[in-house]
Chain A
Amino acid sequence: MNEVRVGVFVCHCGTNIGGFLDISGLTKYALSLPNVVFAKDNRYTCSEAGLTEIKNAIAENKLNRVVVASCTPRTHEPLFRSTCKEAGLNPYLFQFVNIRDQCSWVHMQERERATEKAKALIRMGVARAVLLEPLEEIEVEVNPCALVIGGGIAGMTCALSLANRGFEVKLIEKDEWLGGTLNSLYKLYPTHEEASKWIRAKIEEVKKNPKIEVLTSSRVEEVEGFVGNYDVTVRQGEKDRLFKAGVIIVATGAETLRPVGMYGYDGKTVVTQLELERMLKEGGVDADTVVMIQCVGSRNEKRAYCSKVCCLNALKNAMLIKEANPDAQVFVLYRDMVTQGTKYEDYYGKARETGITFIKYSPERQPVLEKGSVRVYDEFLGDEISLLYDLVVLSTPMVAHPDSADLAQKLKVPVDDNGFFLEAHVKLRPVDFATDGIYLCGCAHWPADVGESILQAYGAASRASILLSVGHVKTEPLIPVVDEEKCSGCSLCELTCPFKAIHIEETEKGRKAKVIAASCKGCGACGAGCPQRAIIMSHFTDEQLLAQVIPLAGVMP
């Protein structure tokens, strides 16, 4: 085995560290530590000059471990790792020591104690660095086929987007026909185009595309495998079909809440917006006075979210009623009208101009349905009024599809408190799941209108096509390694892992845990719970962690 030769670089970060810690003291201390053969301070280690010094020192001093004591690994570890790589050193032989964000910046009035702490941190870093081992990134081939689950507007758009880029697509739809929720809609806001005409054209386009295979009356039964190599069993009618897919897109949509037991809902004179939509489609409503109630079953304790599309949808349907029958009286009882953006605020204005009456109610004093009339406390009038009605229309929220939880479990992806699929990051990764190779779009994600669903579908297709066109994927080698001698095949690790990245296989030596490197996210939860302590976590081994467990008293010479 080669001699371990550590180089330590202590960064001033201008005055950010240098102004609060004794840098020359730290550098001298670093040089006194076991295995450290080189130590130097830099004005800015991350500058071109600093990086060159690291590279030169690696070559001149035959360094095989590099420690940088500076800002934080969360921003600068990738940079220093690639510097090591350029100098021919395996990037996993680099160790960061955080002496700025977690030392100089938080102990600005205590130079002496902060310097002492920084020494201890450097000692901890060096102790771990000595035990680091070179690791190689893991490369996995990607099967150039996408599986899209859900044949509504989001799923179809996504499928077309991918097929037009030249990739094979399997489009799975649970119903007998494509189209999803759009099949039940009449006209779309804000243009009042007919949904059916438009969706029919989309369906034709999908069916004609030679790259897309459509499977209707189908459900996903089982999902095995990992990014680039998913094995999906789809049940179509009685028979099972097995597909290989590199990526999976979830576009399963949502349902509209049926307000059973609310406001005397009966589907005849008290209906939902969706049912009104069907009535309009089939020739209009026979009602001179229509009362719409917003936020029925949403923005309450049970369902805290705003379904977002109901305000605009109510505006549209109210306008369509007025269009067909200008003498009709339409009341919209609302809590807050949500019509954001440059297009929709105008749309709301237009609705007001047609003579639709808007009445604000508060959640504390909800409208009450009485025989033939709706009693409501008007927040602006400051009084209670009674509205005679021919038809009451309830705006109910979109709710998660009841099958979502089951599908989420099969795919090993999360759902939120409301049962909608949960993305990897609400702002930064809106159409990705935390699991690589699985994406989402449309109302499966959260209530969205047609435009948004299409936008998300484009996004998901674009994200998925990165993997499909590159053809392979690299993952970090921070994976568990199973000691088969110790492993008893108890399967606790399999139960622990939310990513299906470790499972039990029959081997010649009996049942043993096997790691699927491409699926592993590197958390280490399996190892820290293993009853036999048979799992070693690469780059975060027990030894590497324990090397850092040094009491302050043991640090000072």
Chain B
Amino acid sequence: MTLQRNFEPDILGFLCNWCSYAGADLAGVSRFQYPPNVRIIRVMCSARVDPTIVLEAFIRGLDGIMVLGCHLGTCHYMTGNYYMERRMKTAKKVLKNVGLNPERLLVDWVSAAEGERFATLVKEFTEKVRKLGPLGEETDLELQQLRTRLFAAKEALAQQRIRWLVGRERELAEDKNVFGEKVSQEEFDQLMLQTIEKEFAKRRILLSMGEDALSVKEIAQRVEASPREVLKNMVSLERAGLVSVVGIEGNSPKYRRAGG
């Protein structure tokens, strides 16, 4: 992609009603000026922001997303911002897999009394995204490739395996499981990363196949991965009933997406 001249980043902010949205209002009441690049969507709690919505926003071409909540420990709903933080952490990891700079997603905390802080955050984030350039500037991907990857990332975040892990993080990493075992934060992060990579790879495969019947080698070319990796994923996808073998060509099976 080529750098646009006078690039003005297009940014959406998801703000919780009780703290950050009130903080944004206070910036207005206090007349703290900030660039008009950010538009705000109000949610009752930042925990309402499903990570797939963030991905969808990038698919639609937004250059940066802010998700702001109450400071930790002061959430109007007691624990909402902790959930948001964990979910967005996962969204950032997925963005990295896509090839995007995860800093395009800003997670931060603004209280109802921090109008000036909100204005500063917007200024700094707008500057940061301006430097990063239009979405995808940091990659070598064509727009269509980028969109496909983002789509795969969004699909991955919609998968129950990842959502389940995100939801259980606190329990798994802080408490013991039913067998009295405790997973360390590092172990959990490792597990999370592997799961994200696996889910992302599988979604990319599915999206790349379209309606075609393809061999592992052909798929591997499409997703730029090793045939060995792809084969592993094909077996798993077949088991999940998402692809089926529709024929054999030479020694290699041909796969097609199941159910359309």
Give A contacts to B, CB under 8 Å. 72-74, 98, 100-103, 105-110, 113-114, 116-117, 120-121, 124, 414, 434, 478, 488, 490, 492, 495-496, 498-499, 521-525, 527-533, 537, 540, 542, 545-546, 548-554
Contacts and interface: CB of A to CB of B under 8 A. Distances in A.
Nearest to A476: B44
A524 B43 contact: yes
Contacts of A498: 77-79
A39 B76 CA distance: 36
Contacts of B50: 527-529, 542
Contact of A106 (B31, B47, B56, B76): B31
Given A72-B25, A105-B28, A540-B48, A523 B80 contact: yes
Contacts of B12: 549
A109 B47 CA distance: 34
Nearest to B29: A101
Contacts of B49: 528
Given A101-B28, A531-B164, A522 B44 contact: yes
11 contacts: A106-B34, A109-B33, A414-B78, A492-B167, A527-B48, A530-B163, A531-B161, A532-B160, A545-B41, A546-B53, A548-B41
Contact of A434 (B21, B56, B76, B166): B76
A495 B164 CA distance: 12
The 7 closest A-B pairs by CB, nearest first: A101-B28, A524-B48, A525-B47, A523-B45, A531-B160, A105-B28, A523-B77
A100 B17 CA distance: 16
Interface stretch (B57-65, B182-190, B251-259): B57-65
Contact of B27 (A106, A434, A554): A106
A523 B31 contact: no
B113 to A, nearest CB: 12
A492 B48 contact: no
A523 B44 CA distance: 6
Interface in B79-111: 79-80, 83, 87
Contacts of B76: 434, 523
A434 B36 contact: no
A534 to B, nearest CB: 10
Interface in B195-218: none
A488 B10 CA distance: 38
A109 B33 CA distance: 9
A420 to B, nearest CB: 14
A114 B48 contact: no
Contacts of A529: 47, 50, 83, 87, 163, 166-167
A553 B4 CA distance: 14
Contacts of A552: 10, 39
Nearest to B162: A531
A73 B22 CA distance: 10
Contact of B28 (A102, A490, A531, A548): A102
B28 A124 contact: no
Contacts of A414: 78
Interface in B14-36: 17, 21-22, 24-25, 27-29, 31-36
Contacts of B228: none
A551 B167 contact: no
B232 interface: no
Nearest to B119: A106
B131 interface: no
Nearest to B15: A102
Candidate in B34, B160, B171 with the most chain A CB atoms within 10 angstroms: B160
B207 to A, nearest CB: 19
Interface in B102-142: 119
Nearest to B161: A531
Contacts of B80: 523, 525
B85 to A, nearest CB: 12
Given A524-B48, A551-B62, A102 B25 contact: yes
B62 A107 contact: no
Contact of B164 (A478, A490, A524): A490
Nearest to A488: B160
B77 A105 contact: no
Given A499-B77, A531-B164, 4 more contacts: A98-B40, A434-B77, A498-B79, A540-B44
A113 B36 contact: yes
Contacts of B166: 529
B176 interface: no
Given A103-B36, A495-B171, A553 B41 contact: no
A490 B164 CA distance: 9
A101 B24 contact: yes
A98 to B, nearest CB: 7
Interface in B147-179: 158, 160-161, 163-164, 166-168, 171
A524 B25 CA distance: 22
B222 interface: no
A124 B41 contact: yes
B32 A106 contact: yes
Contact of B45 (A103, A121, A434, A525): A525
A160 B127 CA distance: 61
A74 B17 contact: yes
Nearest to B51: A528
A437 B17 CA distance: 23
B28 A106 contact: yes
A498 B77 CA distance: 7
A549 B58 CA distance: 10
A110 B36 contact: yes
A549 B60 contact: yes
Contacts of B21: 74
Nearest to A549: B57
Contacts of B29: 101, 105
Contacts of A523: 44-45, 47-48, 76-77, 80
Candidate in A98, A521, A523 with the most chain B CB atoms within 10 angstroms: A523
B13 to A, nearest CB: 9
Contacts of B39: 117, 120-121, 124, 552
Contacts of B36: 103, 106-107, 110, 113-114, 116-117
Nearest to B13: A102
B216 to A, nearest CB: 29
Contacts of B48: 523-525, 527-528, 537, 540, 545
Contacts of B171: 495
